Chain A
Amino acid sequence: MRGRPLLHTSYEADQALLNTTAKRVMLGVFFLIVISIPFQIIPGLKFLGEDDWLRLLSTTAVFAIGALGLNILTGLAGQVSLGHSFFMGIGAYTAVWLGGAVGGPLIGLGLPIWVWLPAAGIVAALIGVAVGPTAVRVRGLYLAIVTLGLVFIGEYFFRNWNSLTGGSQVGRDFPRLQVRLWKEEVPIFDFTTPANWFGVEVSGVAKTFLLLAVFALVFTLLAKNLQRTRVGRAFMAIRDRDIAAEIMGVNEFAHKLLAFGISSFYAGIAGALLASFVTRVIPERWDLFLSVQFIAIILIGGAGTVTGAVLGSAFVVLLPRIVQNFTLWLQSVATEGDGILSSIANVFVATTPEDFGLVNTFAGVGPGLSVAQLNLVLYGLLIIGFLIFEPLGLYGIWLRIRNYWKGWPFTY
């Protein structure tokens, strides 16, 4: 049906994963852009191809996988969980148990990626299902505190299980992103070393980024697909009114367990990929703040939406870098320039300990916040701000923009 984008003539078309041409085209274009980033083809986006930006984008991809998992549990099934970082830790340590270096002082079996990566997800999912019955018994705010307990108990184990985790504040090396058939010395394919593809030099960082981007795409599509299945609809029914869902024949207990399992699977994969990507991780990495970051991602992006989880990840991961660049720019304006702009910037940044300013740009402690602290404060304020002013998050903003242009030049 040309020219009538919302007219669906079959149930399949209505329920399709990408039900409009615009969505299909945009996803394709978006993915082409993402793939092209490391090759620095598109003018204006070339800076993203530099190594430090590529690392941030890779982190975004990994965080997106984790956020999609939490989105299934919190956004779809409505179960507030602060325990996401615990399941990520489980995934990471499963990965290192199976894939870690053999023969060292620490546990490691040296198995290839196609064993440890799925296993990370599966073990995390199993533990999620095992913890589930306790968690499913309590509801709402009690659940939030039970899962909070999970983080603390988990962190205690991670800190003390020295032979697996390397010990508190020490950590250990995680298996690299290399494909092997079994335990042979030279990997078949190495995502961490530079290579020459058809005459184009590709750095190790770029290869890692491409791999993680593909992973993120696959998991995004899986999560999107889940929403239109029977299970996904059951999750949403439980979220909206659990008793009503039960009356309609949804097995509440089983579906909550399933939600915990799927969410933990995503978390496990994300944890394993994150640890593998940053190569060395201390047990304290899997703390409450990581969980809060994921809650922030979900809320900033828009709870219950797949697009939101991805947008939120990009926002939360890239924000510190943007804040840092902005502060540096303010600093340069304050110190070098003159005129009104410079004096405004001077109010915000303190360049010496005697100077007044909201943000310090000198090393050490001063009256103002350091850049790291400013980032934390902004995190907090963004969580609060989005909840108060835009409960649908970035997705809600996008929705309003889209609907405005849909009706343009009419307002409705």
Chain B
Amino acid sequence: MTHGLVVLAQATVENNEFAQTLVDGVSFGAIYALLAMGFVIIFKATSVINFAHGALTGLGAFLVAAFATVLDFPGRYVTFLPEWAQWTLNVLTALVAAALIGVILERVFLRPMVGEALFAAAIVTLGLDIVVRTITNDWIGTNPRPLGAPWGLEVVDLGWVRIAWSEIVQIIVTVVLLAGIALFFRSRTGVAMRATAFDQETARAQGINVGRIFSVAWAIGALLAGVAGIFFSVFPRRATGVDPATAFIAFRAFPAVIIGGLDSIPGAVVGGFAIGIAEAAANSYLGFEFLGSGFPGIVGYLLMLVVLLIRPYGLFGTAEIRRV
């Protein structure tokens, strides 16, 4: 930040529109990718379509706001650390809390649905979405809750493209998380999760504690949703912070899952970035009068319909084998 490269967000510099679109798209796509990945991990491990993912996003972001700015826990006990480290510690605590809530929700509301029809469990999550979202909104109250991120509104200007510091952090965190997930699937628990995804009963017969795998999957899903929620509630997106609309971000990430294929984790990442870039492109190039407002919001769904017409199981999804 000592370089002259850093200017405030309000500065106007000649930009390369295409590169800027790409950067915006990739950084937004990273949010979708995180959401879609958590969604697919939950679906693969527990065969539950989680419509409550948006609620988990809002809840995670709210918890971060609560821990980081309102409670300042556990940052207030480690005052010898620099401020950004305190903030990071608070955020990590909040994410652990979010993951715990994910585990509890699964244990209480979805464990009884094991063995029921897939769509019945999906509808349970619809109900869960309403409950969690309403309670989160009540906690949020009327004003948005800022997250107090240390990088604030600062922007790196490379001349041909401008990147917010939060976007740089976000892309680094996303890459680390993607690598972490990839490594996780090579660990003992990860292999057990893959086995569970393949066949729950057989996995159980091999001595895998399937219930624990369910918990781990929901913990990961809730954590990724929380991270996505953070990055959706900071400067280039919504500088004001978490508000009731935060939860709706997940509804824009659903097509990412379908584009990639419901049961493909790489597919979710590809789909997430595809939708992010498509929305950014629609934002910069499709500013026609007749399109009205809110068109970028449905670009993902339109893309999804096109992909489904060509490949009914998404780009990387496995076709369902149907037996009589």
Which of A's residues lie within 8 Å of B, judged by CB? 80, 134, 137-142, 144-146, 148-149, 152-153, 156, 159-160, 168, 241-244, 247, 288, 292, 295-296, 299, 365, 368-370, 373, 376-377, 379-384, 387-388, 391
**Contacts of B320 on A, CB cut-off 8 Å?**
139-140
Residue B297 is within 8 A (CB to CB) of chain A in the complex? yes
Asked whether any CB of chain A lies closer than 8 Å to the CB of B79, the reply is no
Q: How far is the CB of A52 from chain B (nearest CB, A)?
A: 25
Given the complex, which residues of B lie within 8 Å of A241, measured CB to CB? 324
> Could you say which residues of chain A place their CB within 8 Å of the CB of B298?
149, 152-153, 156
Given the known inter-chain contacts A141-B119, A369-B135, A388-B113, please indicate yes or no for A160 contacting B301, CB distance below 8 A: no
Contact A381 B127, CB 8 Å, known A142-B312, A243-B322, A387-B120: yes
Tell whether B90 is near chain A: CB-to-CB under 8 Å.
no
Given contacts A138-B312, A145-B255, A373-B138, A383 and B124 within 8 Å (CB-CB):
yes
B297 lies within 8 A of A141 (CB): no
Query: A365 CA to B137 CA in the complex, in Å?
Result: 11
A373 smallest CB distance to B (angstroms): 5
**Which residues of chain B from 134 to 163 have a CB within 8 Å of any chain A CB?**
134-135, 137-138, 141-142
- What are the 3 A-B residue pairs with the smallest beta carbon separation, nearest first? A160-B292, A383-B127, A380-B130
Evaluate contact between B122 and A380: CB separation under 8 angstroms: no
B262 interface residue (CB < 8 Å to A): yes
- Flag if A383 contacts B302 (CB, 8 Å): no
Contact status A142-B302, CB under 8 Å: no
Instruction: Give A379's nearest chain B residue, CB to CB.
Output: B130
Provided the pairs A141-B118, A146-B308 are in contact, do residues A377 and B135 lie with their beta carbons within 8 angstroms? yes
How far, in whole Å, are A41 and B308 apart by their CA atoms in the complex? 57
- Chain A-chain B contacts (Cβ-Cβ < 8 Å), number: 132
CB distance from B257 to the nearest CB of A (A): 7
Docked pose: A267 CA to B126 CA in angstroms: 21
Provide the residues of chain A in CB contact with B124, threshold 8 Å: 383-384, 387-388
**Residue ID in chain B nearest A146 by CB atoms:** B308
- Say which residue of A152, A380, A382 sits within 8 Å of B251 (CB atoms): A152
Besides A142-B308, A145-B257, A383-B123, 10 new A-B residue pairs in contact (Cβ under 8 A), listed by A number: A140-B320, A149-B255, A152-B301, A241-B324, A243-B322, A288-B251, A292-B130, A296-B127, A373-B135, A383-B126
A108 to B138, CA, bound (A): 41
Which B residues fall within an 8 A CB radius of A?
49, 109, 112-113, 116, 118-120, 122-124, 126-131, 134-135, 137-138, 141-142, 251, 254-255, 257-258, 262, 291-295, 297-298, 301-302, 304-305, 308-309, 312-313, 320, 322-324
Which residue from chain B places its CB closest to the CB of A299 in the assembled complex? B123
B127, A380: Cβ atoms under 8 Å? yes
A349 CB to nearest B CB, Å: 15
Report the bound CA distance from A231 to B213 in whole Å: 43
> Across the two chains, which residue of chain B brings its CB closest to A156?
B298
Contacts of B292 in A (CB 8 A): 156, 159-160
Contact across chains for B113 and A134 when beta carbons are under 8 A apart: no
**Residue pair A138, B308 in contact (C-beta under 8 Å):** yes
With A134-B309, A160-B292 as known contacts, state yes or no: A145 contacts B302, CB within 8 Å.
Answer: no
The CA-CA distance from A142 to B319 in the complex, in Å, is: 12
Pairs A–B under 8 Å by Cβ, sample size 17? A134-B305, A138-B308, A145-B49, A146-B304, A149-B305, A160-B294, A247-B324, A295-B126, A373-B134, A376-B130, A376-B131, A377-B130, A380-B127, A380-B129, A388-B109, A388-B113, A391-B116
Q: Is the interface of A mostly helix, strand, loop or mixed?
A: helix
- Quick one: closest B residue to A159, CB to CB? B294
Are A148 and B254 interface neighbours, CB within 8 A? Answer: yes
A384 in contact with B137 (CB, 8 Å): no
Closest CB of chain A to B311's CB: distance in Å?
A: 10
Complex contacts, B262 vs chain A, CB 8 Å: 141-142
A243-B320 Cα distance, complex, nearest whole Å: 13
Q: Are A160 and B308 closer than 8 Å at their CB atoms?
A: no
Residues of A contacting B118 with CB < 8 Å? 140-141
Which residue on chain A has the smallest CB distance to residue B317? Answer: A142
Which residues of chain A have C-beta atoms less than 8 A from B141's C-beta? 365
Cα separation A153 to B296 with both chains bound (whole Å)? 11
How distant is the Cα of A324 from the Cα of B255 in the complex, in angstroms?
A: 38
Q: Is the CB of A380 within 8 A of B257?
A: no
Q: A141-B119, A145-B257 are in contact. Are A379 and B309 (CB under 8 A)?
A: no
B49: nearest chain-A partner, CB-CB = A141
Task: Report chain B residues within 8 Å CB of A383.
Answer: 123-124, 126-127, 130
Contact (Cβ within 8 A) B297 A365: no
Closest to B322 in A: A243
A247 vs B324: C-alpha distance in the bound complex, in angstroms? 9
A373→B141 CA distance, assembly (Å): 12
CB distance from A394 to the nearest CB of B (A): 16
With A369-B138, A380-B134: A292-B294 Cβ-Cβ less than 8 Å: no
Greatest chain B CB density within 10 A among A142, A146, A296, A365 is at A142
Q: How far is the CB of A403 from chain B (nearest CB, A)?
A: 23
- Least Cβ distance of A293 to chain B in Å? 10
CA–CA, A388 and B115, complex, Å: 12
Give chain B nearest CB distance to A74 CB in angstroms.
9
| Cα separation A146 to B304 with both chains bound (whole Å) | 8
Alpha-carbon distance A301/B258, docked complex (angstroms): 31
Q: Which B residues are CB-close (under 8 A) to A382?
A: 127
With A and B bound together, what is the CA distance between A279 and B323 in angstroms?
50
A382 and B320 alpha carbons, distance in the complex (Å): 32
Pair B254/A145 contact, Cβ less than 8 Å:
yes
Whether A146 pairs with B305 at a CB distance below 8 angstroms is yes
Given A145-B254, A153-B302, A156-B298, A387 and B123 contact (CB-CB distance below 8 Å): yes
Bound CA–CA A247/B323 (angstroms):
12
User: Contact at A377–B301, with CB atoms within 8 Å?
Assistant: no
Q: In the complex, what distance in Å separates the CA atom of A146 from the CA atom of B258?
A: 9
Whole-angstrom distance from the CB of A388 to the nearest CB of chain B? 5
Among B113, B127, B134, B292, chain A packs the most CB atoms within 10 A around the CB of B127
Determine which of A138, A139, A370, A391 lies in contact with B120 in the assembled complex, contact meaning CB atoms within 8 Å: A391
B140 to chain A, nearest CB (A): 10
Select A243's contact among B138, B142, B304, B324, beta carbons within 8 Å. B324
Nearest Cβ distance between residue A235 and chain B, in whole angstroms?
Answer: 16
Beta-carbon contact of B123 and A295 below 8 Å: yes
CA distance A384 to B127 in the complex (A): 6
Q: Smallest CB-CB separation from B125: which chain A residue?
A: A384
Instruction: Find chain B residues with CB under 8 A from A381 CB.
Output: 127, 131
Complex CA–CA separation, A152 to B130 (angstroms): 18
